Amino acid sequence: MTAPDAVSRDDEEIVDDDGAEAGAPAVRSWRGPSVRRWALFAFVAIVIVVADQLTKAWIVDHVEPGTGFQVLGTWLAFVYGQNSGILFGMVPQSAGAFAIVSMVVIALVVVYHAKAGRGIVMTLATSLLLGGAIGNLLDRLRFGSVVDWIDMGIGATRFWTYNIGDAAITTAILLIIATALFPVIAEWGPDA
């Protein structure tokens, strides 16, 4: 028998201090996302930031604040809104404080991906969260508020005005909730 924590190369047996029996097949533990998974994480986040910032730049350049135009009847309109709070306009007049909070969240998202990004769903969720957070942080730093422009609803019943970054954050939160409710989802498309 080999010493604890030693791996027998001949028959791929492993023994560890946790009491695993000799003769158990060797299992490599996941040590974090691969370079390919980090590349996917970065790519999705960058796509979200670029799409978010380009659409906001167009709105800022072509539409006056507080005004807009209909795209699909009353169902969809593009309206230039300025949100000095957080998601859905909560806690208004606090863009500076939320810029600091956003920086902390961005760091935590990267750390969380390093720990939980084994499955493709978690990589996508964390990259969407990162892209949305960066997009909204850039607005807070540049404008002192977040540029919102997508207005949806039916007639006078409207949803909150939002942007691509907000949509990415909301999608990420829904994916994370789904993985919490159904843990098997978090294991889909495991990183090698």
Catalytic machinery residues: 148, 166
Pairing assessment for the beta strands 157-158 and 7-8 based on DSSP bridges: unpaired
Please compute, for residue 78, the number of CA atoms within 13 A of its CA located in the half-sphere on the CB side.
11
Under DSSP, the state recorded for 87 is G
Taking each helix axis from N to C end, the angle separating 35-62 and 164-181, rounded to the nearest 10 degrees, works out to 140
d(CA 170, CA 158) in angstroms, rounded, equals: 17
> How far does Cα 4 stand from its chain's mean position?
40
Q: What would the DSSP string read from start to end of 165-183?
A: HHHHHHHHHHHHHHHHHSG
Single-letter amino acid, residue 75: W
